[in-house]
Every structure is written in structure tokens, then in C-alpha cells.
Amino acid sequence: MTEQGDKKSALRTAALSRRKGLRDEIARQHADLARQHFFLNVPLNDQSIVAVYWPIRGEMDTRALLGQLIDQGTVTCLPEVVGDNQPLKFRQWDGMSPLDAGDFGTMQPGPHAPEVTPNVILLPLAAFDAAGYRLGYGKGFYDRTLAEMQSRPLLIGYGFSTQQVDAIPAEAHDVRMDMMISELGMLKFGL
């Protein structure tokens, strides 16, 4: 592993440990606050297609957010892990259709669900910094996906404020987020 990789691994481990330390009740309250901040700060319109992750391993819960998006008529989709070293696919989800178990404990629409191209992507993360860089889980799924997209979507990190670190060592393939939403509010990066 490179020196950058070692630093990222240490940051990831520390941030995930802090996230894991949140009590369930506090995590639920924070998810509700973040959902409110999302709707106050994210510009959506009738052309918006919003990709939302299905929460795993203590990630900020997005299910109420998904439900509210669907209820207001916004097209939503969930990522599908196609395979190692492959970009993600995004499949539309209406909130009613059954979900299939995906890789890493995620849930995703089945192969019958239409594939769509989101113009807003909610990014799961292990850590983030004040410059707008996120640290994922090290598999590179979102990096590969964003590199192959024809046009850049609005990228929104979504997580707990406790996941913020001083600085993430950015590499050439790392794409800066446009916003970060936590229970404390919204941070903008270069918009």
C-alpha cells in the first residue's frame, strides 16, 4: 500500500469507529435532521433524478429521505453493484417494488427495474473534509462510476458530522463533492 493509501486507511478506520460509537437513538435523530437539511438546501425540480444509497454498516439512514422524495414525485434510484472493478448502475425505485439483496449488504431494485442516469447523487462515506473530499470504503465504485458519466451530477455527501476529518489526501481520481449534508446542516464546496 502507498503512503497515501496508508493515510486513507487510518482515517477510514478512525472515522468508522466514531460513527459506530453513535447510539441508535442519536443516529435516528441525526438522520431526521439531515433529511430536513436536504430538503431545505438541495435544489430539486421536475427533471431531478436522485440516486440515494441504501444504508449499511451504520451509515446515516436514508430510508425516510427516500420515502419523502418518492412521495413528492421525485424520480429516485438506488445503486447496483455489478461486479468488482465495474461502475455502478442506477435502477429506478418507486418505494413499492421489492428489493433484492446486493453485494456488501445493500438492497437494490431487481434487473427488471429501469436503468436511469441520476443528475443528483447522494454519496455514502466513511469520512469527509472541509475541502469537499470524501473517503469511501476503498473499493472505488463511485470513482469509477463518476469517471464514466457523460455529464457531472450534483454530488452530495451524506453522513454524520462526527465523520469529518481535518484533511483527506486527495488523489488524481478523487472527485470533490458539491455539498455535504449532516445533522448540523449543509456545507457547500465551490458551487
10: exposed, middle or buried (Cβ count in 10 Å: 0-12, 13-18, 19+): exposed
What mean pLDDT do residues 155-167 have?
A: 94
pLDDT band at 46 (very low <50, low <70, confident <90, very high): very high
Length of the chain: 191
| Residues of the chain above pLDDT 70, percent | 95
Convert the pLDDT of each residue in 76-134 to its tens digit.
999 998 888 888 999 999 999 988 888 777 888 999 999 999 999 999 999 999 999 99
- The label of the residue with cell 422524495 reads 69
- In 10 A of CB 42, how many CB atoms? 17
How confident is the model at residue 2, as a pLDDT?
64
Which domains, and CATH codes, for the chain? Answer: 3-188 (3.40.50.10420)
Whole-prediction pTM value? Answer: 0.90
